[in-house]
Structure 1
Amino acid sequence: MLLLIPGPVTTDARVKAAMAQDYAPWDNDFRQAYRQVCDSVLRVAQAAPDEHAALALPGCGHFAVEAAIRTFVPQGGRLLAPSTGAYAARLQRLAADAGRIAVPLPVGAAERVAPQAVAAALERDPSLTHLALVYSETGSGICHDVPELARIAHALGRRVIVDAVSAFGALPLDLRDLPAVDAVVLTANKCLEGLPGAAFVVARRDSLEAARGNAGSWSLDLADIYEHTLQPNAGPRFTPPAPTLAALAVALDLYHEEGREARLARYTANMRTLYDGIGALGLVPYLPPALQGPIVVNVRAPDAPTWNLQLFVDALKRRGYVLSNFYNTEQPTFRVGCIGAFGPDQMRQAVDAMGAALGDISITREPAASGGFFPFPLTA
């Protein structure tokens, strides 16, 4: 099966093989491997080891997003959170449930966050101490210019938290050049092409030291996790998803062999193959080409009486391809992930399978037009 979802993703056979044994989390060899994984994540973030730490948590990206908000935003604190889609809405809820005040900034469903709007909102309200951003909004497929927005926040004396869960490892990120960023959240199972179960926060050491006592949760206290890492021969604080981390070690080796720019180029080729292919099937992408990011493509549901998302997913699965059986857009869509250990030839075959699956549910369409892609500096 080829997973065409925006995570978990299809993985290399060598990554899967690393899961096929048992690991003792407190064994000294595993402790060393654990520290090496964290160091490798820092390298992907282009972070300075003397200024940043990579902290691992068990679980999904939402756990790490909540941990970052709890740790770096004091109880009752206020953060500006652009409403970019479903995952920004989840971030806002996590903040509210943690007793923090997320102030939404309206953003159109088919718009990028406007730098001038962020600057104006921060200038209007000096009580906003943080800016919280979703880098790649998988609900829509739009990627926002997080480095530029972080620089604006820095110029205005604000701190930044980045949900980079579906962006990390593909989209540009150089933490040495973004001193306002307190935390970047990521998981093993997206663009790093590892397996699910492990989340990370790459955070500034000085911000962690200043955040002791903020979290109100022992499990989600990044400052406490950081303090644990300072102990001699430190390993995980609590029992980690050891097989997932062992697989991630292999995935990170493969990542560094490929390189970020090459990985982004492969994902972009996957996206363009898909985008053009669905147009040839008569389907309409949710986003115009100029806004379409390389991580996930949302496709408008066919306006046909026989359309049924689950039946389409089932028909495609019979052909060896797995899609999400839900959507996060206002209008009905289906979404297709462009990330994972595969290339455009496999995506081309997947598009052919989509055409056959549509036939299974009695839908045929005329080809739709397509256009040019992004004026967005994804390769910067």
Structure 2
Amino acid sequence: DVILASKLNGAGDEVYIEADENNNLKNMSKQKEELNSISAELVGLTKLSYATFQRLCDEANTLFQFNQTIDYEYGLVKISEKANVYVHKLDNLAWCEVDDEDHWARATTIVYPIIKAREGIPHTVKRNILLNPGPATTTDTVKYAQIVEDICPREKEFGETMEFISAELTKFVGNPEKYTTVLFGGSGTAAVESILSSVIDNGTVVIINNGPYGERMCKIAEIYGLNYLEYKSSAEQAIDMNDLEIFIKKISTNVSYLALVHCETSTGLLNDIEQIGKLCAVKNIEMIVDAMSSYAAVPIDMQKMNISYLAASANKNLQGMAGVSFVIANKARLEKTEQIKPRNLYLHLYDQYRYFQMNKQMRFTPPVQTMYALKQAIIETQWEGIEKRYERYSKSWTTLTDGITRLGLTYLVPETHHSKIITSIIEPSHKKYNFDIMHDFFYKQGFTIYPGKIDKLETFRIANIGDITYREIERFLHLLEQYLNGLKGE
């Protein structure tokens, strides 16, 4: 006797399931408050033995005698008190119920494309677990989305693909009426450089440097000759908001912009952009955010957080392929940059935006196949949901940090302001330790790890993003324990 169940899909009108420790049915209801805990969502397919079916009929007949009617979910709960009904949960099941137009829109734009993509996979690709901070481990459906018929990117059909990508990337963080996404072929740094070189006029920009990627912003500003001031902060601790405000107050010129990294990829530090956004709002400062390692994982609301420009890329939490970066901009702010004299050609943000608005094309040749992979990655992100994705990442992070602590290692950034996306770990102090040797040990087992990037600190980094779960992190920890035990034996 089996009930088919799935993870919660958030489509509305769900029937929630409560199961016991053996995954047997305890309760089922559309009202969350009627359950002690929620294990899964009812799909609507149930397999019963004939004897159990008879019990279900008997239960219904008893209630009919008292002029009561029941739905079959209630009947299953009643008979489960006498016979076990197993709840078979499939977390990755692509399905939906269609009761109304909203359900139908979700079915046609998200669920059916996922089903078709899965059906189109000829075979499973060798699975490597990338624990580096991007590119991330991808699904087979994202990989195979690149295998399409050749097409000229100037065709209307491909323009519609890019329109979809631009609109859906915007919706993850803002209202498309107020915000827009501008696409570039290139790494994430291309998007950051596009913003800094295109939107800052003669005003002063404060750049928060609390890691190598904040430092990279300073280098870009230096190359373009921008009027910038560097605010240095700890690579491990939260930004001191009072100190930052005092720093800005002491600046003799009018500060027009503030730029910072949301999640510092070198350590995992998560800066509080909402609080910094409030400070910028009070002082009428436009905030620029490098969200490369946070976008599509940590929930972001550009309007609420007062973000004017946000930079991200396809190959991290979106779980797409490397080669596409993008800027999500406040339309009203972006329109005002038209009069700023261009400092470059390829990365000029306003020109790229205006050309796309007029022609539904990029000015220069886009990475065509990578765009198809990005479209599929967006659909899969919509299917999982950003909050659910972050829950999955967070569970992997907790598994990681608990494991390395058990093994006697420590990590830099405390939990209170950790992104739970990438972790900088202090290297073992054993005299025989060598990162390259450890990297090769893991690489042979199908795992890729990454060196540290903090000056004067000997660290290595582990990211828990991409198409992985806490199970892969457990396997990594098992291998790490083997490696560390090998050092002790030498």
TM-score (norm 1): 0.91
* Amino acid of the structure 2 residue aligned with 1:170: A
Cα distance in 2 for residues equivalent to 1:50 and 1:142: 32
Deviations 1:183-223 (A, max 9, x none): 10000001111110000000111222211234311111101
Greater RCO, 1 or 2 (C-alpha within 8 Å, sep 6+): 1
Cα shift at 1:122: 2.2
Alignment of 1:218-229 (within 5 A): 218-229=345-356
What is the correspondence of 1:354-373 to structure 2 with a 5 Å cutoff?
A: 354-360=480-486, 362-363=487-488
How far apart, CA to CA, are the structure 2 residues paired with 1:275 and 1:329? 22
The residue aligned with 2:176 is 49
- Helix, strand or coil for the counterpart of 1:105? strand
Equivalent position to 2:143, from 3, 8, 16: 16
Counterpart code for 1:64? A
Shift of 1:358: 3.1
Deviations 1:28-49 (A, max 9, x none): 111101110000100111x222
Cα–Cα, structure 1 residues 363 and 197, in superposed 2: closer, same or farther, change >3 Å? farther
In the other structure, the counterpart of 2:287 is: 160
Q: Quick check: 2:266–2:452 contact (8 Å CA) kept in 1? A: no
Any stretches of 5+ residues in structure 2 without a counterpart?
Answer: 1-127
Unaligned runs of 5+ in 1: 366-380
Write out aligned runs for 1:210-359 (5 A): 210-212=336-338, 213-231=340-358, 233-359=359-485
Deviations 1:94-149 (A, max 9, x none): 11111113311121222111222222222222422111010000111110111221
Identity of aligned residues (%): 26
Instruction: Please say if residues 70 and 98 of structure 1, whose CA atoms lie closer than 8 Å, have aligned partners that are also in contact.
Output: yes
Matched, 1:25 2:153: yes
User: Which AA in structure 1 matches 2:453?
Assistant: Y
Q: Does 2:72 correspond to 1:72? A: no
**Residue 143 (str. 1) matches residue 247 (str. 2):** no
Greater gyration radius: 2
2:164 matched to which residue of 1?
A: 36
What is the aligned counterpart of 2:248 among 119, 122, 137? 122
Q: Count residues with an aligned counterpart.
A: 360
Q: Is the 8 A contact 1:79 1:131 kept in 2?
A: yes
Contact 1:4-1:336 within 8 A present in 2 as well: yes
Evaluate the alpha carbon distance shift between residue 162 and residue 214 of structure 1 in structure 2; reply closer, same or farther with a 3 A threshold.
farther
Q: CA RMSD in A?
A: 1.7
What amino acid sits opposite 2:270 in the alignment?
A: C
Instruction: Judge which range, 109-118 or 130-139, deviates more.
Output: 109-118
Instruction: Report the counterpart of residue 376 of structure 1 in structure 2.
Output: none
* Secondary structure of 1:137's aligned partner: coil
Rounded to whole Å, the distance in 1 between the matches of 2:456 and 2:184 is: 32
Q: Is the 8 A contact 1:82 1:113 kept in 2?
A: no
CA offset at residue 363 of structure 1? 4.1
TM-score w.r.t. length of structure 2? 0.71
Q: Secondary structure at the match of 2:450?
A: coil
**TM-aligned CA deviation for residue 326 of structure 1:** 4.7
